[in-house]
Structure formats: C-alpha cells, structure tokens
Structure 1
Amino acid sequence: MPRQNFALAAAAVVLFANASPASAEQLAGNDLKQFVNGKRVYLETPFGGEFPLSYKPSGVVTGDGTALGLGKYFRPKESGKWWVDGENLCQKWPTWYDGKTSCFRIRKTGERSLDWVRDDGRSGSARIEG
C-alpha cells in the first residue's frame, strides 16, 4: 500500500509540474498584432500602480508615466513606434531605452490579461483594454 501511495503522489507531481493554464497562449504574427492593435496595455509596476501603453493602428505607441510620478527619473510621456516581428512585439522610443529597440514575447493569460518577457530577460504582467 505505501508503494502505491508513493506512485500516485509521484504521478500527481509530474502532472501538476507540466500543467500550464489552459487559457495561456503564446501569441505571434497576426494574432499578436490583433491582440494589441488599437488597445491600451497597463503594465503592473513593482511600486504599485500601472504604466499605460497605447498601441495605435498607425504603428504609434504612447506611454505615459505621469500618474506614477516618473517625471523626476525620465521624460514621463513619450510616443514611439511599434510593430510585430514573428513572436515579438517590438517598440522603439525616441529617448526611452536610449532610443534602442526592445522586443517582447507575449503570452495571453486571459481575455484581458497577459504576461510579457522582454529581450533582456525582464518580465511582468499586464491587463489590456480597448
């Protein structure tokens, strides 16, 4: 009997370790573009609050950290460009990130939620509206 319980427990550990949320979906290409196009993404910040990014159909993205009081650290509001490259949502800002392109992999975790991983390894969560 103890051996059978151990086998069942081991099987349960393997199943749960390999399980991922049924709604989590890695987005790419046109699916990724449709998910953000014309929408506002609210990035969760480590100090509370949210950082909004508006993805316009024209390929312009606008970020605004004014409400978070980020003006003392960098220009709080800026508009740049966004595009999709395969599995990546890419952005280029005039001054943020020293004007360098940053790309993100996006996992849709719900109809209005996502997880992201930036090409430098940083990651987080966000909600999306629009």
Structure 2
Amino acid sequence: MATSRAHAANPARVHARIPANGAAGACKEVSMPIGGKERLAVAALALSAMLGAGVAPTFATSGPLDAADIKSIVGGKRIYLATPFGGEFPLNYRSGGVVDGDGEALGLGKMMAPTDKGRWWIDGNRLCQQWQEWYDGRAHCFTLTRTGDKSLRWLRDDGLAGTARIE
C-alpha cells in the first residue's frame, strides 16, 4: 500500500509510504522537505513512481463522517492527535459531552496550560469542542474522515488539518 500526505503543522514536508525493494506488501516511510512549486512536482513524481511500480495509491475511501458515526467513533474514546514534533496528544471524549486533554508528557506547560477540560458536541456532521483555557475558550468544529480502522483525518473550521489515532 502506498500513501502520501502533507504534514498539517509543517506543510513544507511530504511524508510517503513507498514499496520497499519490490517485496509484496513491504513499505518504507520517507519524508522530504518541499516548498512552493516543488510540491506539485514532488506529488506528480511520487504518483508516477507508485504507478510505475504497479502500486495504486490509497486514499480515504469514504467521505466525511456523519453525526451518528462521529458519536460512535469518538464518544467515550481516547483520541491521540499526531503532533508536528513527533508525539501524540491524548484527548478523552467522555460520553457525557466532557472532553479533557493532557499535554504534560509533550512539554506543553512551557507554552500553555498543560491540561484543560471542556465540552464536545456534534453540530450537523461536525465534531465541535470548546476548552476552558486552550484557544482562549473559542469553540472549533471539525470535519472527520476515517482513514483506517483506528485512524482519522480531521479538518478544523479554520483550515488546520491533521491526523489522529483512535484508542
């Protein structure tokens, strides 16, 4: 399986999984910096290489999740957001509409309150959340797309995007 994605917090890097030495099912991950006009060229080159190797790229096969899917996938679960500095940021979406996060292990205490609590709800087909302190208490809503059995892609209402793992 070959996939390609731009890193949400660092759009000047592309990460890809490509076939490893022609072995069936074996892939290796590569990461390379890109910028400006090179983005399109790198994407075209990667797609060409994958197709030339007989590997079809894989993308999320479904569209955005609907309200019922969001509730069943997120409610009562711990979701780990991938961070640009290599770790994961855990958020606990409690079934009663409370969400809490703890970034102490990632060193967030140096930049902001390391832990916070807020509320989450579903508005249409979007997951919304509002923290007490983080983001100055502003509410944000997210469109979610499942990318695997235990993974999601999220797009925030202001255009910020990323990936997450479901536990």
| TM-score bracket for the superposition, by shorter chain length | 0.7 to 0.9
Residue of 136, 144, 159 corresponding to 1:98: 136
Partner of 2:43: none
Within 5 Å, give how 1:34-53 maps onto structure 2: 34-53=72-91
Residue of 126, 151, 157 corresponding to 1:119: 157
Higher helix share: 1
Q: Which amino acid aligns with 1:72?
A: K
Name the count of aligned residue pairs.
113
* Residue 127 of structure 2 is aligned to residue 89 of structure 1: yes
CA contact (8 A) 2:97 2:120 kept: yes
Q: Normalised by the size of structure 2, how large is the TM-score?
A: 0.64
SS of aligned partner of 2:116: strand
SS of aligned partner of 2:164: strand
SS of aligned partner of 1:26: coil
Q: Deviations over 1:94-113 (max 9, x none)?
A: 11111110110000111100
Q: Considering Cα pairs closer than 8 Å and 6+ residues apart, tell me whether 1 or 2 has the greater RCO.
A: 1
Q: CA deviation at 1:25?
A: 4.0
Larger Rg: 1
Partner of 1:31: 69
CA-based RMSD of the aligned residues comes to 1.7
Q: 1:120, 1:91 → 2: CA distance?
A: 14
Within 5 Å, give how 1:9-20 maps onto structure 2: 20=59
CA contact (8 A) 1:25 1:109 kept: no
Q: 1:92, 1:124 → 2: CA distance?
A: 18
CA contact (8 A) 2:126 2:143 kept: yes
Give unmatched runs, 5+ long, in structure 2.
1-50
Deviation beyond 2 Å, 4+ runs, structure 1? 19-22
CA contact (8 A) 2:59 2:147 kept: no
Partner of 2:117: 79
Q: Which amino acid aligns with 2:120?
A: W
Q: Normalised by the size of structure 1, how large is the TM-score?
A: 0.81
CA contact (8 A) 1:55 1:61 kept: yes
